[in-house]
Amino acid sequence: MATPTAALPEVRKRPVAGHLSGGDGVARALTLFFALLILVVTVLLVVQLWNNSELTRAKFGLGFLTSAVWNQNSTPSRPEEYGALPFIYGTCVTAFLALLISVPLGVGAAIYLAELAPPKISNGLTFMIELLAAVPSVIFGLIAIFSVVPIMRTTVEPFIKKGLGFLPIFSGPTYGFGYLTAGLVLSIMTLPYIISVSREAILSVPREQREAALALGATQWESTWDAVLPFAKLGIIGSVFLALARALGETMAVTMVIGNDPKINTSLFSQGYTLASVIANEFPEAVKLHSAALVELALVLFALTMAVNAMAQLMIVLTTQKGSGKG
């Protein structure tokens, strides 16, 4: 015969005012304030960029995004005219080159650190990689000027041109400064993000996935390739988006090696411009319409990086939920 259980004491609900007056309520209100403050700051940034770009939005409209003319020197025969297309093009080309180099290297390194390396080696290398992510971009730019640019000018670019010079993207003179060098520098800067986030995504895969594959006779590499990586692919894609956001918004290092030419050039050896680099170079001397054009470029860059970061965070969240069994 089951023994009767003692009646549980009735839990009295605390009133809202009393709940908020306690320590938990204060902490909740304070953290809510901080969270809303971040949202307010973001909105204010957008409002400021929108208001300060009114001159170019009113004069050029959506044509600002498709025009390839950038003329800040007004003359009677040729008034000021501004278009964002060369800078959007330069930003996309350098970011694409950066990911083309860093994604295979980063994902391969993440697989080794998460699945194949001994724990001591994995932890030590991961620590060094995270330190690399903290290096200021201007340091990368200086190193690139003194080491990467001369090598690109005298060795790498002539070698590529000799073998693939018949292609338009590898034609023209080799200066060392240009899209290709900027993409190479960006790949080094984005590599730590891909490695760190991809490693965490791979480590979040449940151990049962690996053990099940090994129990069926798979080798360690087959277990990693067939059972682990498909499970972590959203997180790896998220790391690529985070790296892309870093590449899109990078300023100083790119400004120092891209050559700063406001034209659309098909050759990767040619000099160019990005959204961030043109703002950094020209804003201190800009006035009126020129200043408004640069602010509108900043608005375009802000929207682009926010969209990329949002997609990256979504990928990482989906991977975490899948790894914990909530997805």
Classify residue 25: in a domain, yes or no.
Answer: no
Classify residue 79: in a domain, yes or no.
Answer: no
pLDDT score, position 22: 60
End-to-end CA separation in angstroms for the chain:
43
Instruction: DSSP for 173-240, please give it.
Output: ---S-SHHHHHHHHHHHHHHHHHHHHHHHHHTS-HHHHHHHHHTT--HHHHIIIIIHHHHHHHHHHHH
Mean pLDDT of each 10-residue bin along the chain, 327 residues long: 50 51 77 89 90 88 86 75 89 92 92 87 87 87 91 91 88 89 92 90 85 82 84 85 85 88 89 89 85 90 84 70 54
**Alpha-carbon 166 to chain mean position:** 33
Provide the domain limits for residue 154.
87-286+309-323
Give me the number of domains the chain comprises: 1
Would the pTM of this model clear 0.85, i.e. be above it? no
CATH classification of the domain holding 189: 1.10.3720.10
Helix axes 229-249, 85-111, angle to 10 degrees: 140
Q: How far apart are CA 142 and CA 120, in angstroms?
A: 33
- The distance between the two most distant Cα atoms of the chain, rounded to a whole number of Å, is 104
pLDDT score, position 181: 92
Classify residue 67: in a domain, yes or no.
Answer: no
Classify residue 9: in a domain, yes or no.
Answer: no
Q: How far apart are CA 325 and CA 322, in angstroms?
A: 5
pLDDT score, position 12: 53
For residue 71, the 8-state DSSP code is: E
Classify residue 73: in a domain, yes or no.
Answer: no
Residue 167: enclosing H or E segment and its boundaries? none
Classify residue 137: in a domain, yes or no.
Answer: yes
pLDDT score, position 116: 85
Answer whether 249's CB lies under 8 Å from 305's CB: yes
Classify residue 3: in a domain, yes or no.
Answer: no
Tally of CB atoms within 10 A around 313: 13
Classify residue 61: in a domain, yes or no.
Answer: no
